[in-house]
Amino acid sequence: MDERKKVRVTMNQNNESDQKHDLEYFLTPKGNSKKFGNSGRIMLPKILKPIMLALLLGVIFGAGIIYFFSDMTPGAEDDVPVSTVGDDDEENDSNEEGNEDSSSTTFEKAAEAYDVIQFGVFSNRANADELVSDSLNPLSVPAVVQEENGQFLVISHLVLSEQNKDDITNWFESNDLVYMDDFFYKTWNFDAVQLDVSENEFTWLNEGKSLIESVQSGIDKSWVDEVNAWLDQQPKAYQNSESLEQIKQLTTEAENTNQTLRTIYQHTILLNMHIFYDSLA
């Protein structure tokens, strides 16, 4: 009995000696030196990765901060372009001049209709000019050859009143021109004008329109003088107007005529002014 107890105690002691304390797993090195070297190489990349990431972020943010504060240095002010007050004034003046040249104003003139004297209508300009030279020039009667719908009309004297029409009819018949055979009265329509022009042209055109409107109180020599003064200010844009050239010629010829013929000249000047504005429509 005692022997069996001794054997059992001895076996138990052997089993206890085979079992290691829990701290031995942590304090006792595991594996040989080769395994330890492999573990070190595995841990090294894990340590280097965060270090490299930290360095990269530091370079990026550091470069940004340096760039930001470099613009605030005193030397940066030297790179800012400086314009003088005189340069700004010259630029503003040039811009204002350009705006004046490019600006435009709308000129307007209402449509109108008047009776005029018609001496004939022809299919070509040559026959119309022949009537003027053979029949009207010998009587010193001014006339205008005007094209309308492919035909050439010989017209004269814009009529302002019935009394004026009677006086002219009597004068023509006294010079052997028969009413309704050699001449008659035709209503002539002048179109409305709406035109974008420069400020200078607008002023000049308005002055001419005022001269036309003023004849309702009568036409006299002073009115013709005003027309001449108006023509002296003629803008370059209208230098080639046939109607304006004829007005200049009529104002000169009217000086050497009698009273009745002077009236015809003055009313034909008025007719040419209407024709000029009608050409702008």
Q: What angle do CA 34, 38, 43 make, to 5 degrees?
A: 145
Contact 253, 223 (CB under 8 A): no
**Do both 221 and 273 map to the same domain?**
yes
Task: Please give the residue range of the domain that contains residue 7.
Answer: 1-82
**Do both 175 and 65 map to the same domain?**
no
Residue 97 lies in a domain: no
**Do both 24 and 119 map to the same domain?**
no
**Do both 262 and 124 map to the same domain?**
yes
Tens of pLDDT, residues 57-112: 776 766 666 766 555 544 444 454 444 445 555 555 545 444 544 588 999 999 99
**Do both 129 and 268 map to the same domain?**
yes
The two counts, helices (H) then strands (E), for the chain are 10, 6
Task: Give the total number of structural domains in the chain.
Answer: 2
**Do both 184 and 219 map to the same domain?**
yes
**Do both 171 and 244 map to the same domain?**
yes
**Do both 200 and 247 map to the same domain?**
yes
State how far the Cα of 54 lies from the Cα of 51, in Å rounded to an integer. Answer: 5
pLDDT at 52: 75
Question: 281: which residues sit within 8 A by CB, 6+ positions away?
Answer: 191, 192, 193, 194, 195
pLDDT at 56: 74
Determine the 3-state secondary structure of 115 from DSSP: strand
Joined together, the tokens standing for residue 149 give 């719908």
Question: 116: which residues sit within 8 A by CB, 6+ positions away?
Answer: 155, 156, 157, 158, 159, 185, 186, 187, 188, 271
HSE-CB at 243 with a 13 A cutoff on CA atoms is: 17
Category of 239 on φ-ψ map: left (φ > 0), alpha (ψ -120 to 50) or beta: alpha
**pTM (2 d.p.):** 0.65
Question: What is the residue whose two structure tokens read 């595995």?
Answer: 42
pLDDT at 216: 79
pLDDT at 89: 55
State how far the Cα of 84 lies from the Cα of 24, in Å rounded to an integer. Answer: 88
The CATH number of the domain holding residue 264 is 3.30.70.1070
The CB density around residue 99, as the number of other CB atoms within 10 Å, is 9
Low-confidence ranges of the chain (pLDDT < 50): 2, 5-7, 9-10, 14-17, 20-21, 23-29, 31-37, 39, 73-78, 80-85, 94, 96-98, 100-101
